[in-house]
Amino acid sequence: MLCSLCWLLLIAVVVLGLVYYVIQKGKERSWKRKMEEVGGVKDIPVLPGDYPLLGHLTTFMRYPPDNHFEKHAETFKELGDSFIIKAPGVPSRTYVLTINPDVVKHIASSKFGSLFEKGEKMQRQYLQFLGHGIFNVNGEEWKKHRNVTGTLFHTKSLKDYVHVFATNAHRMFTKFEEVKKGPEYVAKGIDMQDYFMRYTLDSFAEIGFGVKLRSIEEQVNHFAIAFDTVQTHTERRGRVGEFWPVLEKLKPNHDYEQKLKYMNETVNNIVQQRMSENDETLRASTDALSSIIMDTRTNQLSYTEEEFRDFVMNFLIAGRDTTAMLLTWTFYYLAVNPDVEKKVVDEINEVIGEEALNFENIKKLTYLKWVLQESLRLKPPVPVDGYTALEDDVLPGGLRIKKGWEVYYISEIMHKREEFFESPEQFIPERFKEPNGCKAGMNHPAVYIPFHYGPRTCLGREMAYEEAKIMICLTLQKGIRFRLHKDFEPQIKQSIILTSKNGMWMDMISA
């Protein structure tokens, strides 16, 4: 009896869904006629294989689960620099994917806040993970989070961070010597992705939250493992559109739930540790979390414990993962381009010499900055981002979109457009002699956006460069070189953060 009822419910849902689909198609035709009256507008190409209710689900299922970029790149060549894909739902969840810098400028700057922002579907998808933190809110909430962290990135603060980054780098070197003595090192080498995640976690926890986590010394990096599970799960909810809550009810992902619980406990422990400090201790601290707690105690700000959790979780991502992946991929490119590595060494010897690293002298490392910029071009840490249309609109090029459609720019592909970048697949730091690394005369302000674009451009850009430069300088000055372990080749893993699915296993050798 119960089985029969389930089938009847399923049939009813399908029938109602198809009726809704037909009604929506009629509305869409009416909308198109309305837009045609404006003149000079056109439809965005739709990826073939769109079905009622399912959207492009069957197409997604044929793609490699960890890397859609190659398939998307092929589609851009076939359909142009913007196209539509649809995820399941009633109605389907419509995504506009683009590598057009004019569109990026339009949604992230020109019309940001008035016509485009983080939409409800985006926010709901990431709510359990990001909560109401800076990456998942709009308007005044977003401004509040952004304003309270401004002092983290002032020049005076950046000068103070040099010591923190250098101290943690030396802790890494000590750990490497220990790891080299273990049996796994001979068989596999060192997973540098894992250790750069530890380095940036410990560094940002200290400067952002005033706590010393000491993950570098741990045998297993539990936080990184949990984060990878949580970020992958939440990002891939978008592939099943509006059906993900139902699917997760029918088949819960217990590993995700356990990992999210662990992350929440870790973050809440950080918050509770700082909230237990007295006013004198907090006033003497320079980290952002202490400042927010004090401002809340004195009624200058209004933050709940849940908002403290969201603040810490979001800024752990901002301060840990993006710089960790910048370092991971930069050391990869140095390993496979020893001629570039030699130029970096020569510049360090010439500019730094026997001096201790400081804010002023590392700023003078121009070639190393180019190396980091080139690494970010080929492997942007956050490879996809976007916003939701609040009203019907016409994108640059006369592309009409509807209210509620989500427009995503894929910097991982846009950064390799031959129209803008010479030999785009090659690692050529010298290209950054030109603005944004573009061909002479071809620069566009929104074509190279590793830290994103517009009002939501990453505040921590200069801190990321500083932290990466310090680690690279100290490594090379110690005569340490990293080379890929025999037969190892990293495999792209697409998620919120662009990682290597199989780590970054490298051998540590002497220069």
For residues 393 and 404, what is the distance between their CA atoms, to the nearest angstrom?
Answer: 10
Which of the four pLDDT bands, split at 50, 70 and 90, describes residue 2? very low
The strand pairing partners of 509, in sequence order, are 481
Nearest to 393 by CA among 383, 382, 380, 406: 406
Q: Which two tokens stand for residue 108?
A: 């992230």
Span 466-494, pLDDT tens digits: 999 999 999 999 999 999 999 999 999 99
Across residues 436-462, what is the average pLDDT?
95
Q: Which CATH superfamily is domain 41-510 in?
A: Cytochrome P450 (1.10.630.10)
Least confident of 142-151, 155-164, 230-239, 495-504: 142-151
pLDDT at 262: 96
Which of the four pLDDT bands, split at 50, 70 and 90, describes residue 8? low
Q: Do 382 and 452 form a contact (C-beta atoms < 8 A)?
A: yes
Mark out the alpha helices in 48-191 (DSSP H runs): 57-62, 69-79, 101-105, 120-130, 139-148, 155-180, 183-188
With both helix axes pointing from N to C terminus, report the angle between 305-316 and 288-297 in degrees, rounded to the nearest 10: 160
Span 271-316, pLDDT tens digits: 999 999 999 999 999 899 999 999 999 999 889 999 999 999 999 8
Q: What angle do CA 322, 466, 312 make, to 5 degrees?
A: 45
In DSSP notation, 426-471 reads S--GGGGGSGGGPPTT---TTT--TT--GGG--TTHHHHHHHHHHH
Give residue limits of the domains in the chain. Answer: 41-510
For residues 381 and 368, what is the distance between their CA atoms, to the nearest angstrom?
Answer: 18
Give me the sign of the Cα torsion angle 280, 283, 287, 292.
positive
Least confident of 103-117, 138-152, 301-315, 372-386: 138-152
For the chain, give percent helix, strand, coil, nearest 5. Answer: 60, 10, 30
How much is the pTM?
A: 0.92
Q: Which two tokens stand for residue 304?
A: 């709940």
The strand pairing partners of 98, in sequence order, are 82, 409
Span 409-447, pLDDT tens digits: 999 999 999 999 999 999 999 999 999 999 999 999 999
Identify the residue whose tokens are 């780098």. Answer: 169
Q: Which two tokens stand for residue 285?
A: 């601290």
H, E, C per residue of 16-77: HHHHHHHHHHHHHHHHHHHHHHHCCCECCCECCCCECCCECHHHHHHCCCCCCHHHHHHHHH
Tell me the longest C-alpha to C-alpha distance in the chain.
82
Is pLDDT above 60 for 376? yes
Span 65-87, pLDDT tens digits: 999 999 999 999 999 999 999 99
pLDDT at 148: 85
For residues 72 and 83, what is the distance between their CA atoms, to the nearest angstrom?
Answer: 10
The strand pairing partners of 83, in sequence order, are 97
Nearest to 481 by CA among 336, 324, 354: 336
The bridge status of strand 406-410 relative to strand 93-98 is parallel
pLDDT at 27: 52
Which of the four pLDDT bands, split at 50, 70 and 90, describes residue 90? confident
Contacts of 502 (CB under 8 A, 6+ apart): 488, 490, 491
Span 165-217, pLDDT tens digits: 999 999 999 999 999 999 899 999 999 999 999 999 999 999 999 999 999 99
458 among the known binding-site residues? yes
Q: Which two tokens stand for residue 12?
A: 């009813």
Is pLDDT above 60 for 249? yes
Please state, rounded to an integer, the average pLDDT across all residues of the chain.
92
pLDDT at 112: 96
In DSSP notation, 238-262 reads GGGGGGHHHHHHHS--HHHHHHHHH
Instruction: Count Cβ atoms below 10 Å from residue 323 Cβ, excluding itself.
Output: 26
